[in-house]
Amino acid sequence: MTQNEKRVAIVTGASRGIGAAIAERLASEGFIIVINYSGDTAPAEALAKKIEAEGGKALTAKADVSDANAVSRMFDAAETAFGGVDILVNNAGILKTIPLADTSDEEFDRHFAINAKGTFNTLREAAKRLRNDGRIVNFSSTTLALNMPGYAIYNGTKAAVEAFTHVFAKELRGRNITVNAVAPGPVETELFLQGKSNEQVAQFAKMPPLERLGQPDDIANVVSFLVGSDAGWVNGQILRANGGIA
């Protein structure tokens, strides 16, 4: 039995992209995984089956993270199935780049509802319900350091996530729960590729001195470190994983 066995990890937005890679990686390390998503059920179910086939344990939980009641029910489901929650990975997020002048009220609200309030909703639930000795990993973005045109709303949501991370790490004093955030650079997922030409993608790939796009596993490696025992003294930090862009 590994040290992680029976430790329960909720990974939000785990049906594809970075979240799916995190779910698989943590499952391979013995964590029981709650695969959260809000849209199409099929990829989440397929991932759960894959994890189970590889000897892991997983539950799918459809919940829009921007809906506080749905988030609460997801924690209920995890507690009912597995007895509690130890790890929260707040990976769910959306991105649509739009110049500020062209941004609709709806796009502004949708980004803040999912990226910022979604993270707030799960953090608030975790404050009440995470077992001691737990770990929380939030998701910011290296775009916050790059200040590229079109990223104002998205960066605003991620600035909120970084602020939550710093304060929440202190609010959990006494429970031996760490709260950190990962801030990836460009990672080759649907979120990143959507709406970009091949030339734009190639330009992003050239940005890091390591001269490639990040892959979901690059980020899963970092999350694995942060939720593992080696990161026990890392708390309240934002860890950029971007091949050296910024």
Q: Which of 4, 9, 17, 231 binds ligand NDP (CB under 6 A)?
A: 17
Interface size with ligand NDP, residues (CB under 6 A): 32
Buried b (16+ CB within 10 A) or exposed e, 169-178: beebeeeebb
Instruction: State the Cα angle at 212 between 33 and 20, rounded to 5°.
Output: 10
- 40 interacts with ligand NDP by CB under 6 A: yes
d(CA 184, CA 161): 13
Q: Which of 154, 164, 192, 204 is catalytic?
A: 154
Closer by beta carbon to ligand NDP, 2 or else 198: 198
Closer by beta carbon to ligand NDP, 6 or else 193: 193
Closer by beta carbon to ligand NDP, 4 or else 36: 36
Q: Is 37 a catalytic residue?
A: no
Instruction: State the Cα angle at 210 between 209 and 211, rounded to 5°.
Output: 85
Write out the binding residues for ligand NDP, residues 54-83 only, by CB under 6 A: 64-66
- Give the neighbor-by-neighbor strand order of the sheet with 238-241: 57-62, 32-37, 8-11, 85-90, 130-139, 178-184, 238-241
d(CA 207, CA 55): 39
DSSP-derived pairing of the beta strands 32-37 and 8-11: parallel
Instruction: State the Cα angle at 20 between 17 and 22, rounded to 5°.
Output: 110
Q: Which of 4, 121, 122, 141 binds ligand NDP (CB under 6 A)?
A: 141
79 closest CA partner among 40, 125, 44:
125
Q: Which of 9, 10, 18, 74 binds ligand NDP (CB under 6 A)?
A: 18
Query: What's the closest the beta carbon of residue 169 comes to ligand NDP, in angstroms?
Result: 19
- 122 interacts with ligand NDP by CB under 6 A: no
- 112 interacts with ligand NDP by CB under 6 A: no
Per-residue DSSP letter, 187? B
Write out the binding residues for ligand NDP, residues 175-194 only, by CB under 6 A: 184, 186-187, 189-192
Q: Which of 51, 58, 85, 95 binds ligand NDP (CB under 6 A)?
A: 95
Which DSSP helix (H) or strand (E) runs through 196?
none
Closer by beta carbon to ligand NDP, 189 or else 224: 189
Query: What's the closest the beta carbon of residue 10 comes to ligand NDP, in angstroms?
Result: 11
| Footprint of ligand NDP (CB under 6 A) | 12-19, 36-40, 64-66, 91-95, 114, 118, 139, 141, 184, 186-187, 189-192
Task: Report, as residue numbers or ranges, the catalytic residues.
Answer: 154
